[in-house]
Structure 1
Amino acid sequence: MNKILKYIIVSIIIVSYTGCTDDFENINTDPNSIPERSLEQMNNDIGAPFTPMFLNVINITPAWNYQLQQGVIGDVYSGYMTPPTPFAGNINNMTYSLIDGWNEFPWNNAYNNVMPFALKIKTIVNERSNPPTEFIHLANIIKVSAMHRVTDIYGPIRYTKFDDFATTGEYDSQELVYNTFFNDLKIAIDGLKDLETSQLFAPFDLSAFGGDITKWRKYANSLRLRLAMRVVKVDPTLAKTQGELALASDAGFLESNSDDMKIDGGFPNPILEISSSWGDIRMSAEMESILEGYNDGRKERYFKPATDEDLAGAYKGIRMGIDITAKTQYGEYSGVGKVVEKGTVQWMSASEVWFLRAEAALRGWAGAGDAKTHYETGIKTSFSQHNVDGSATYLADNTSTPKDFVDVLNPANNIAYPSDVKIAYNNAGTNEEQLEQIITQKWIAMFPEGQEAWSEFRRTGYPRIFPVVINNSGGKIDTDIQIRRIDFILGERNTNTANVEQARTLLGGPDNGGTRLWWDIAGGNF
């Protein structure tokens, strides 16, 4: 079914579904509405709540919601993009003056449009005499997709008790949340095994999977490997156990570009509007340093040449956290390119999974295979994803390194790239050197999914993200250590005060952007 048509149909179903009343059977049926019995017969009562979930894991519309959920948090802190706009007089997230009104969106999208609908699906399915359990499993996979982003922004969150009205406001430690994620994914992967031929979900699936349960199992298992790697420094035993479960699973992994987890809600990619229409996002300094230094052909898919006549069509980025007085200063630098012009939003790519497998091999996990092979497959898969030639030449390059960044308008923003990490895989390198290669290439391949890239930077320290020049945090965030999380949102602090206070004790530090998350361990990266 055409994705746009599917979205329209499901949207109509939601309107009809949410308009039902408790005494529907006892009143006259509106001839223009869809009877409740028909909704149940078509599984629309269960399927309809999936649409807001799909649209809000990474918000698709409106674009300003995406900008606040991800654009001025993960996208900038990952070193992917930088606004040329001096929002709030340049006293904003980019200069570490965290704005409460901006930073509530990741939380509110999840708790208004993901968690309640996952609970609704579970409730409806459990009321059926012959329950289609695949809907619960799929809802849980989407829920984990959303909530691991939320916990990786704030730390402790409300998760395990969300279906208990008396305790729904209580926060879990991030350790408990991650252990619950692993359990939720295991149950879903195992539960969907005997349902791989089911087509019941197809009419409601806004992903590229089209209701294919086999691909949903691959995605859930790939997500398990991602989360296993996230906790590798804080709990290496848990990481290894969960990683090896993923590696041994018959569910398999996302392996080819046809497996990529992408969402199409019938709207343009929000980054396209933010970059092209509003001019509010541009290439980062790090992207310029790495892509130009490597002469990486993906730069022509990721970004557009600068329109500033003095730059002669070069690919030019902006360093984050600098003195910007007007949008006109850097507004004609490189905007985001064809990577966002297909109208889909990427949750996870096959190339990312190859790099996860490369790191698993580097760490010696059972069943992981060979690190160099997976690393090279990840690069080849990324090149293929973006229709870029020359991967063989690129993989053989053992001399190119990221270039130093030069701000042609203000030399005070110049900075040398603090590493000579190369492209050709170095089997003879230390574990740390090989890890830097893997994560640097993974970072390139995951673009433009900045939230995951920021999480991986915090976990590993790679690639080398430039520190801000202007730090307006008032000492709360160390310029060199960089930002580690976002404060608990103002709405929770005002209305769920006692539970927020308890959550603060779970942080292990003050409720500000300088406090590390549970899995974010300082010290040796490998």
Structure 2
Amino acid sequence: MKNSNIFLSGFVVISLFLSSCAEGLEDLDGNPRNITQEQLEVDFQNVGSLYKPMFENIYQYTPPWSFQLQQNLNADVFSGYMTNPRPFVAGANNTTYNLVSGWNNFIWSVPYSNVMNNAKTIENETRETFPELFAVSQILKVTAMHRVSDVFGPIVYTKFGESATTSEYDSQEEAYNAFFADLEEAIQILSDNIDSPRFAAFDLAYGGNYENWIKYANALRLRLAIRISKVAPTKAQSEGEKSLNHPVGLIEANPDGFFVNGTLDHPVRTINNSWGDIRMNASMESILVGYEDPRVGSYFNTSEVEEGVYKGVRNGLPLLPGYDDELAQKADYVTFSLLADEVLTPRVQLMAAAEVFFLKAEAGLRGWTGAGDVQGNYEQGITTSFQQYGLGGISDYVSNGTRTPMDYVDPVTPGNSINALSTITIAWDDAATNEEKLERIITQKWIALFPEGQEAWSEYRRTGYPKIFPVVSNQSGGVVDTDLQIRRIPFVDSELQTNPDGVADAVTKLGGPDNAGTRLWWDVPGGNF
């Protein structure tokens, strides 16, 4: 990115400053006086205005097409949650592993422009003077950038903005170590300033409640610790146990989950309802309908294919025989289940309380101190997810030991039908192997994470669970194994053009070729135990 970091930072600050001034003038009924920098600093507006873009660009709220490229046509689909009924680019697109580089630039550019640049400015302005404001920005930075690393692997993080000529990448291991260090520092700072009111006016998640921010930071650290538990078990346990045994604790109740309380519609609402470009994935149908899971009605609407029936689309559809163009094929598949309004609110879920119980369940399975009872956490995760949507029938669901994922039938193209890939049931089985127990935990975690496809895709790659259907058409030219599915996104064109030396170094840190079949550092092949 060469010197673009510094330029973008200045541009964002100036733009937001001017916007703030304009809003102030409107409030003064046309009074032409200027709002000075000193007046802004009185209530921290000089840095406060930088937080909203950070919250709203962990993934981009608006315009919806930007989110569609940043996450919806990659992680939301690769996770097995959603898929597109229209075969974009005549079926040669991300979903069939013929990756569209122009689409994937947004996965990189949005968080760097709107999160990393703002975090750097806030750090420079507040680290010494108002450390609690700095601490929150660090937590937001880790929230955004671990997602970027979980897409690409090596990223520009610890040396961001240091050079005017090139940007040096950290290996993914180095980036994760930095994430842990940044969270540790932020948690300590907030613990030391627990009653400070300074962030309340800018907080789109917790209303300035630092205790909740500490709980979230602990939960985020536990998430990252579990992520590296196969590749760096000692480091993972050490970091995980810091969170599990922290005096403030972790997220444990639905009101404490990490949600961005935005003012705009969830971008998938437009993609789903107005454009008809996304629908239920066949893997979601197989698992939710097979389990007779009451959450299915909170996540999806019934289809127009058959009254009262939820129907998903197989991932990775090419332009099928018998269709003249993309829109003709879309017309048949757009009648399948669209997402329900209940999950497409302006209050965007980035970490629900249910996830934390599943993290604790896996931590207990791995023998980490402070994790608690494995079965108890597993069942509490399900219970908390049901409660999030106001659903009953918890005890019957949790105790059911017979329901399994169901076979998938495509009523439009029978050749896309496929048998279920798993026979895992819901009820806890203490006599099962650890691998079977983990499949239960991750399958239920996957259900509870919806609609947050980035985290679901990462967990699928790390564990292999739940067992989601492969693409119908693999157009990667042999780069991606159809059964293993896509493992990452290659480094983006904007970096290759402006930072070629940095990318070349990043490839050496990747440990394999810069393609979609190369595993990330934490993506270790083989069993989980």
**TM bucket normalised to smaller:** over 0.9
Q: Residue 178 of structure 1 aligns with which residue?
A: 176
What is the distance in 2 between the residues matched to 1:145 and 1:250?
22
CA separation in 2, counterparts of 1:423 and 1:37? Answer: 59
Is residue 306–residue 335 contact of structure 1 (8 Å, CA) maintained in 2? yes
In 2, Cα distance between equivalents of 1:67 and 1:341? 14
Match of 1:159 in 2: 157
Distance 2:16 2:464 in 1: 46
Calculate the TM-score normalised by the size of structure 2.
Answer: 0.92
Is 2:13–2:50's contact at 8 Å kept on the other side of the alignment?
no
Q: What is the match of residue 257 of structure 2?
A: 260
1:379 aligns with 2:377: no
Within 2, Cα distance between the matches of 1:274 and 1:321? Answer: 18
- Judge conservation of contact 1:358–1:438 (CA < 8 Å) in 2: yes
Q: Secondary structure at the match of 1:228?
A: helix
- For residues 41 and 430 of structure 2, the distance between their equivalents in structure 1, rounded to whole angstroms, comes to 57
> Would you say 1:314 and 2:309 are equivalent positions?
yes
Moved more, 496-505 or 216-225: 496-505
1:344 aligns with 2:350: no
Q: Secondary structure at the match of 2:518?
A: coil
1:459-501 CA deviation, whole Å, 9 max, x = no partner? 0000001111211111111111110000100011011111111
Kept in 1, the 8 Å contact 2:16–2:50? The answer is: no
SS at 1:263's partner residue?
strand
Cα distance in 2 between the residues matched to 1:246 and 1:265: 28
Alpha carbons of 1:347 and 1:167: their partners in 2 closer, same or farther (altered >3 Å)?
Answer: farther
Contact kept in structure 2, 1:436 and 1:463, CA below 8 Å: yes
Answer whether contact 2:16 2:49 (CA < 8 A) is retained. Answer: no
1:455 to 1:474, Cα distance in 2 relative to 1, 3 A = same
Deviations 1:421-474 (A, max 9, x none): 011111111000000000000000000000000000000000001111211111
Name 2:424's counterpart in structure 1.
421
Measured in 2, the distance between the counterparts of 1:76 and 1:496 equals 29
* 1:142 corresponding residue in structure 2: 140
Preserved CA contact (<8 Å) 1:161 1:168 = no
Query: For residues 19 and 194 of structure 1, do their structure 2 counterparts lie closer, same or farther at Cα, with a shift above 3 Å needed?
Result: closer
- Work out the number of aligned pairs and report it: 501
User: What secondary structure is seen at the aligned counterpart in 2 of 1:492?
Assistant: helix
CA RMSD across the alignment: 1.7
Structure 2 residue identity aligned to 1:306: S
Per-residue deviation, residues 90-118 of structure 1 (Å, max 9, x unmatched): 11011100000111111001111110100
Kindly provide the amino acid, as one letter, of the partner of residue 115 in structure 1.
M
Instruction: Normalising by structure 1, report the TM-score.
Output: 0.93
Matches within 5 A, 1:76-91: 76-91=77-92
Indicate which of 331, 334, 342 corresponds to 1:331: 334
Question: Which of residues 251, 266, 270 in structure 2 aligns to 1:269?
Answer: 266
**Which residue of structure 2 aligns with residue 355 of structure 1?**
358
CA distance in 2, matches of 1:123, 1:503: 27
Tell me which amino acid in the other structure corresponds to 2:490: D
SS in 2 for 1:380: helix
Task: Please report how far the alpha carbon of residue 18 of structure 1 lies from its aligned counterpart in structure 2 after TM superposition.
Answer: 7.3
Tell me which of 222, 226, 238 is aligned to 2:223.
226
1:339 deviation in Å?
A: 3.0
Show the counterpart of 2:60: 59
Matched, 1:211 2:208: yes
Cα distance, 1:15 vs structure 2:
3.2
Task: Answer whether contact 2:84 2:278 (CA < 8 A) is retained.
Answer: yes
Task: Give distance in 2, aligned partners of 1:505 and 1:12.
Answer: 35
Q: Secondary structure at the match of 2:333?
A: coil
* Correspondence list, 1:37-48, <5 A: 37-48=38-49
1:459 and 1:167 map into 2 onto residues whose CA distance is: 35
The answer to whether the aligner puts 1:433 opposite 2:431 as a matched pair is no
Structure 1: distance between partners of 2:465 and 2:68: 24
Quote the Cα distance in structure 1 between the aligned partners of 2:381 and 2:66. Answer: 31
Which amino acid letter does the alignment assign opposite residue 235 of structure 2? L
Q: Would you say 1:112 and 2:110 are equivalent positions?
A: no
Counterpart for residue 523 of structure 1: 526
Pair 1:455–1:167, CA change in 2 (3 A): farther
Higher mean C-alpha deviation, range 164-173 or range 332-341: 164-173
Q: Relative to structure 2, which stretch is displaced further, 339-348 or 501-510?
A: 339-348
SS in 2 for 1:328: helix
For residues 95 and 78 of structure 1, the distance between their equivalents in structure 2, rounded to whole angstroms, comes to: 14
TM-aligned CA deviation for residue 342 of structure 1:
2.6
**Distance apart, 1:31 and its partner CA:** 3.4
**In the aligned structure 2, how far is the partner of 1:416 from the partner of 1:214?**
47
**Identity over aligned residues, as a percent?**
51
Shift of 1:168: 5.8
In structure 1, the residue matched to 2:7 is: none
- Alpha-carbon distance between aligned partners in 1 of 2:370 and 2:20, rounded to the nearest angstrom: 51
Residue 198 in 1 paired to residue 192 in 2?
Answer: no
